[in-house]
Structure formats: C-alpha cells, structure tokens
Structure 1
C-alpha cells in the first residue's frame, strides 16, 4: 500500500511473530549500549545476547536464509571479529601489569584491576583440569592475583598489610 503522499507504508508486523516489538520493549532505543569496535567483540556480543534474551528474541532466525541457526551466526561473528586477539591480549597484559593505585581509593583500584583481569580471562582460557593438581593450579592463580594486587598498592600506606598478605 501507498500513503497519501505516495510514500510506501512501513511493513506491519503481527504481534504473534517473533519479530514483533511491543512499544513497551523500547523499539526506538538502541538494542545494545556497547558500540562494537575492533577489540571489544566479547563485551559487545555479551551485551547483545543479554538484551535479546531479555526481550525473548534470542534464538529466532527461522526466516533467515543464511545462516540456518543463531549458533552459526554467533560463531561466524566471533571468527570474523575476534581475529587479532594477540595484540589485544598483549595490550590487556600491559594494562594489567601497569595498573597501580596511584592516589585512588583501594576500591577504585581493585575495581579497575578486576575489570582488566576479567577482560584478559575472556581472551585467555585455561584448559579444564580434573587431575589432582587442579587445586594447586587454582591456588597458584589466586596467589598470582593477590601478588599483582599488592604490587599496585601504595607502599607507604600498605607495606605492613602487603607483607602480611604475601607472607603465606
């Protein structure tokens, strides 16, 4: 159909289809607050999935010709946009090692360090281990995280605490 001014009318979506967005679902808002860039595929895809899941729109693709299912689409996007992780891992390791308290509160410093550690762990996956050494590897990783945290604390304020924590 054509409107009075000879412009085509937008297609109408039936409320019972998977693609219908009710006005309360905020169809005028961006579905993802995270803008996709070259180095944030993990964060972007997690945000997209969470938002689609909250609107019960995750997993719909029965009318899409290529790909046949959502997993294929996500795997393709991952392959396409998470290339070049080596430089990103290097950058994150550098930022992680350079993270220091620098006159900030311990809470703010810990938050930044934890954020960098979580980002890094999303790129660098340790293999699952069910052998008897699994607990020892976990303890080593926890000690490494504790040492990294202590290295970034302001020495004048926290020398005693650091020597106590790292004495174990």
Structure 2
C-alpha cells in the first residue's frame, strides 16, 4: 500500500461516504488541487481554485471551521486528524517553496488557511484597485470593435477571479452579479467611439439591458 495513503479500512467503513471526514481510496498526500502553484501573485484566482478543489473533495469544512476538531474521546478524533493532515498537505502542495517554508509548521488546516488569507488579502486588494482603474480608462480608440472587446473582457475576467461574492441563500450573490453585469455593459458602451453613439443610445434604452456579449455582437 502506498505510504501516502492515510485512510484505513477501519476508518472509512465507520464513516458515511458523504461525511467530510471520509477519505477516498485515491486521496493521496501528493494530490495537487490547482493547476498553478501560488507564488504570491494571483492570490484570488489561486484561492478560488483551492476552494473549488476542496469543495469537490468535501473538505471545505476543514478550513472554514464548520467541521471542528472533536474531543480526544470521540470516535471521530482520529478521522478528523487524518483529514486535517491531508488538507494541510494539499495546501502545501499548491504553494511555492518560499511560501511553504514560512507556513509549513502550522498544524491545523483552518489556522493555516486563515494565516494565508491574512498575509495575501491586502495584496489582492491593491490588485483589484489597479484592475478597476485600468477598466475605467480603457477605450476603443484606433482599434476595431473585436480588439477593444477582447481587451476589456480580459480585464473583466481578471477582476472576476480577484473578487469574492458573499455566500448566502438570500439572493445577495445574484444581485451583486447582476449589478456587475450592468456595470460591464456601461463600461463597454462608454468606451466606444462616437461613431457608435446611435446604437449605444438604442441599447441603453432597452429594458432590461441585454447581456454584454449580446451588446458586443450588436456592434459587430
């Protein structure tokens, strides 16, 4: 048996496969959950990738505190320790060596995750500010409509990877996303050359506004 396989038949047989403390036969310490190793740049995109990977593994509870450490007398104590160690290993696998050396002695996945958040969230805020500034200044100028759309859409995508919406069941996330979509439409239209002023006016009079991809195709 592979030495990096930390689950045991006794542990897994006592847990439901839907439990966050259940380890699959192919859960290994060497598993890498993201495509790009985080080196201090692109924190939000790395964060989203890690959370997606951990969600697919049903292990988000180990980093957000919803699966707290059981008492030593609990039958879940050992399974929790195994899953905690596994999640810590997965996070370490996704970090650049220089960053790893500064955090590798943190024992608990939840604290590990919070330490990384505190360290890099301010850098992310500066990046978001710069992206928004770039978007506000971009215009069509001498480029064709397709080139202009590609430039501004690249910035939108970068911004999307750099921000997080609140997770709730009250509809706030959807409302924020709708407002962002309307803002993108206005940003795209405002950067167009004056030769598109008539089409721009007609689109702005539409209720509701079409999505930004349809706005682009209307100008092609």
Matches within 5 A, 1:20-39: 22=26, 30-39=32-41
- Report the more deviating stretch, 31-40 or 43-52: 31-40
Cα root mean square deviation, aligned = 4.4
CA shift digits 1:43-76 (9 cap, x unpaired): 10110121233234543316878444x3332221
**1:163 paired to 2:195:** no
Matches within 5 A, 1:1-168: 11=3, 13-16=5-8, 22=26, 30-58=32-60, 59=62, 60-61=83-84, 66-68=106-108, 70-101=109-140, 102-105=143-146, 108=150, 111-119=153-161, 122=163, 144-156=183-195, 158-166=196-204
Work out the CA distance in 2 between the residues paired with 1:21 and 1:15: 7
Q: Which has the higher contact order (CA 8 A, sep 6+)?
A: 2
Q: 1:56 to 1:116 in 2, by over 3 A?
A: closer
TM-score, normalization: structure 1?
0.57
More helix by share: 2
Tell me the CA shift for residue 116 of structure 1. Answer: 4.3
Work out the CA distance in 2 between the residues paired with 1:104 and 1:44: 31
Q: 1:147 to 1:12 in 2, by over 3 A?
A: closer
Work out the CA distance in 1 between the residues paired with 2:180 and 2:55: 33
TM-score, normalization: structure 2?
0.47
CA shift digits 1:88-140 (9 cap, x unpaired): 233212221234453252764563353244246x17x89xxxxxxxx9x9998
CA contact (8 A) 2:139 2:191 kept: yes
CA contact (8 A) 1:34 1:44 kept: yes
